[in-house]
């Protein structure tokens, strides 16, 4: 692909910074817009002096800034969001504002300047559907509006609706990717928003691993390099425009099995204990029981499938956490 200039919103975040690495390594120019709420400068610090890299500290709610950066770029990876169920449960209002209004601002700017936009969505969009594996054409099943958790799923679903309406009604080139539990180096060591980070941190700091509920709930953990590869394939494939794609590992793992696997790789002398959901999230929490992508659409249209097995990805992730031991704090 010929070199392009990409605007990456949320480019200092976990997935965003890995995307930035891949884009710059492939010869592209990158502007990152990030307000550093959950993103971290150190995730992109290694690029700061690079001639093809620019960092702008700012918000996607800043209409003028988004407009200017959009005009200067060829295409936009829109990853900036309040992410993770726990953040959203803690502050649903901020989550909805950033995730809905922010996306609208990005799409409007893209329309003004005729720029292609990739929207980072989430497997949360399937809600509590039990029709696994999840296909992009399946129903979303959301809980009641009295339960704040579902505002995250709904905001991401609405983002997709926005993107596809701009595509159908205004001819804007848009595509959405639904991420399935990405993990890897640079996950927040506090483990906020990722069970992988939490378990690794617990194991490395000699704490028991806290499995919520019966531990039989599953997730399809996807190593971040696979996540990034799928994201770039979605951006570069014209046939994907106007569609959402599952970007995730086609293998599911129970949380209990994950805990035992992480404990074994770390070699930690700690227990795996059960914690009731109510204690972890409060009494009105609803859990997604199984989460597994059907990847046939991504395989057929994007020629993408996740490749990195969980044990390989966990070893790389744990090695990174070991190098950053000094940043680990009690969970």
Q: Which residues bind ligand UDP (CB under 6 A)?
A: 85, 181, 193-195, 198, 210-212, 217, 219, 255, 287
- Rounded CA-CA distance 265/263 in Å is 6
Nearest CB to ligand UDP, comparing residues 194 and 222: 194
Nearest CB to ligand UDP, comparing residues 92 and 240: 92
Q: Minimum distance from CB of 281 to ligand UDP (Å)?
A: 7
Residue 222: strand, helix, or coil: strand
Q: Where are the beta strands (DSSP E) in the chain?
A: 5-9, 29-34, 53-57, 75-78, 116-122, 174-179, 182-183, 209-212, 218-219, 222-223, 244-247, 253-254, 272-275
Nearest CB to ligand UDP, comparing residues 166 and 180: 180
**Strand partners for 33:** 9, 56
Q: Minimum distance from CB of 27 to ligand UDP (Å)?
A: 34
Q: Minimum distance from CB of 225 to ligand UDP (Å)?
A: 18
Residue 152 annotated as catalytic: yes
Residue matched to tokens 């980070």? 197
Q: Minimum distance from CB of 228 to ligand UDP (Å)?
A: 19
Q: Which of 77, 152, 179, 183 is catalytic?
A: 152
Closest CA to 75 of 15, 26, 118: 118
Nearest CB to ligand UDP, comparing residues 90 and 300: 90
- Rounded CA-CA distance 156/122 in Å is 7
Any idea which residues carry the catalytic annotation? Answer: 152
């Amino acid at each position: 692909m010929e070199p392009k200039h990409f605007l990456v919103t949320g480019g200092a975040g976990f997935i965003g910074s890995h995307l930035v690495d891949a884009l710059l390594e492939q010869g592209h120019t990158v502007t990152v817009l990030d307000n550093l709420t959950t993103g971290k400068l150190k995730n992109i610090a290694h690029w700061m002096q690079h001639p093809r890299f620019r960092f702008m500290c700012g918000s996607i709610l800043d209409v003028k800034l988004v407009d200017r950066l959009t005009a200067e770029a060829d295409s936009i990876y829109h990853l900036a969001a309040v992410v993770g169920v726990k953040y959203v449960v803690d502050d649903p209002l901020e989550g909805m504002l950033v995730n809905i209004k922010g996306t609208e601002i990005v799409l409007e700017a893209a329309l003004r300047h005729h720029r292609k936009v990739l929207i980072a969505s989430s497997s949360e969009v399937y809600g509590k559907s039990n029709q696994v594996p999840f296909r992009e054409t399946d129903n979303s099943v959301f809980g009641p509006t009295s339960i704040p958790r579902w505002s995250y799923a709904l905001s991401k679903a609405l983002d997709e609706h926005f993107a596809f309406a701009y595509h159908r009604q205004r001819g804007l080139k848009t595509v959405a990717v639904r991420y399935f539990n990405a993990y890897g180096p640079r996950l927040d060591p506090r483990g906020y928003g990722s069970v992988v980070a939490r378990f690794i941190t617990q194991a490395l700091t000699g704490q028991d691993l806290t499995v919520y509920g019966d531990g039989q709930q599953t997730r399809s953990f996807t190593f971040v390099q696979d996540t990034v590869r799928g994201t770039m394939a979605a951006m570069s494939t014209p046939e994907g425009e106007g569609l959402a794609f599952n970007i995730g590992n086609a293998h599911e793992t129970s949380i209990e099995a994950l805990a035992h696997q992480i404990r074994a790789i770390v070699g930690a002398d700690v227990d795996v204990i059960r914690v009731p959901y109510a204690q972890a999230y409060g009494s009105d929490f609803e859990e997604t029981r199984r989460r597994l992508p059907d990847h046939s659409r991504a395989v057929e249209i994007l020629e993408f499938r996740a490749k990195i097995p969980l044990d390989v990805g966990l070893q790389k992730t744990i090695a990174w956490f070991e190098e950053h031991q000094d940043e680990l704090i009690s969970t």
